[in-house]
Structure 1
Amino acid sequence: MRIGFIGTGNMALAIIGGIIKNGLVKAGDIIAFDKSEENLKKAVDNFGIVGTRNNIETVKEASVLFLAVKPQFYEEVIEEIKEAVSDSQLIITIAPGKTLKWLEEKFARELKIIRTMPNTPALVGAGITAVTPNKNVTPKDLDLAMDIFNTFGSGEVISENLMDAVVSVASSSPAYVFMMIEAMADAAVLDGMPRAQAYKFAASAVYGSAKMVLETGKHPASLKDMVCSPAGTTIEAVKVLEKEGFRSSLIEAMAACSKKAREL
């Protein structure tokens, strides 16, 4: 099996790194092309994969093909490669806004396509990828795709109508969390803590809290109540967050994110 990538940006590199680290295939069985010579050289030098001369060569040599270019370039790339794609190939997309219907119309024939939406924690092996196969994808194809996604985090099959929600709750949300960590660290610095130490404490608290949600199975509100002692420091902070619209700000931001994803 050879896995091909059209585009070698950060997300492609995260996927490639996970595949190689977990031994799903060898580096020499991963091929890629990028119009940016710098990006392609980085991928080849860092991972030992095989660089190709163009997109068509990548398509012809790959059994699994990732379209890892930005959404605005999808139509151009599909127009270029659609005649070279074979019926047996598994095509995996990672672009927001590009629905299965849109993809099928652009390829203009019956193909095996899986629409996905990963997120940047994939760069550290902690990503979560939403997965929606079209009707031509077999259970064996889907198992193979899930094996790939599990090398850099985990995969979750969802109905396609939820994909825009995934963009806001998982794909874009690391930015919100980074902003929160930065603000938490700023407050700790204001209280006299060295900045490097402040980032470590803030990030560790967020990491541990997320792990508690995933591993205890308890409702986040219940876990919050565990921290809030009567007349204590935490409930005082929670009161300020509620007054300043912490929850509503997040909800409104995510709604705007989902709306933008639908417009792409």
Structure 2
Amino acid sequence: MESFLVILTLLALAGMVIFFVLALVKGKGNRRRNFAKSGGCLIALIVISIIGGSMIEETPAAEKATAESSADAAQEKAQEVEEQEAKKADEQAQEEQEAEEQAEKEQEAKEAEEKAKQEEEAKAAEEQAQKEQEAKEAEEQAKKEQEEREAEEASVTVSQEQAIKTADNYISYTAFSKSGLIEQLEFEGFSTEEATYGVENITVDWQEQAVKSADNYISYTAFSESGLIEQLEFEGFSTEEATYGVENITVDWQEQAAKAAQNYLDYTSFSRQGLIDQLIFEGYSTEHATYGADQVGL
């Protein structure tokens, strides 16, 4: 734009000079027109100068505005770039932090797993050591007991051997409870210690002895079920052994009631109800006692 104004100014100046010269050279008729043209060129020159001046004044302002606009745009662009870089940096920092936290979690999990594994191995080792210790102690205890038995067997006296033989002889032909057999050996002259040793060192099933004893009693006299259990307990059998013995013999308790009723009538007299009451007192049930009274004719 400035170059164009310069060209117009030069053209206007040249025209003014040319028309002024022509006005001086030409005739009078043309002189006025040439002066007029020269004046027009002068006016044009003045107008161009004014326009050029105003444009020259406006150009710095426009350039300044353009520069400011460019600066603002550049600043905005720079700010945008800075924000993007800051955002990118934040995202990268966040990713790095997350990666670091993930690595820490994985490390903690690995350490926890390793610790649990070590604790489990330690526990297993401790349990194994305890089992081995218990096995060793059990073996030592068994060895000690074996040595004690061997020592005891080696120290058996002649009297103890005789007590064993005597206890075995008694058991071979008649039934005894454990305490009853000890008393029998004491009656034979053995000390309580020798008698106990003899009875405890024979092979015997005390429940089977109770069965034999119960069968022996039933074979020669009448008993109720509870009465026979009491008799076996009196002989030294435990309640469990006595009950086992009575429950494992073949017996008709009604017939036992009939025998008992006849035995009573053989040596004394009874009314029917009195006999029934006596049989109930002996341990028979009401049904068995009534049956016994019926069988003897009362």
TM-score between both structures, scaled by the size of structure 1: 0.21
TM-score between both structures, scaled by the size of structure 2: 0.19
Higher helix content, 1 or 2:
2
Larger radius of gyration: 2
Higher strand content, 1 or 2:
1
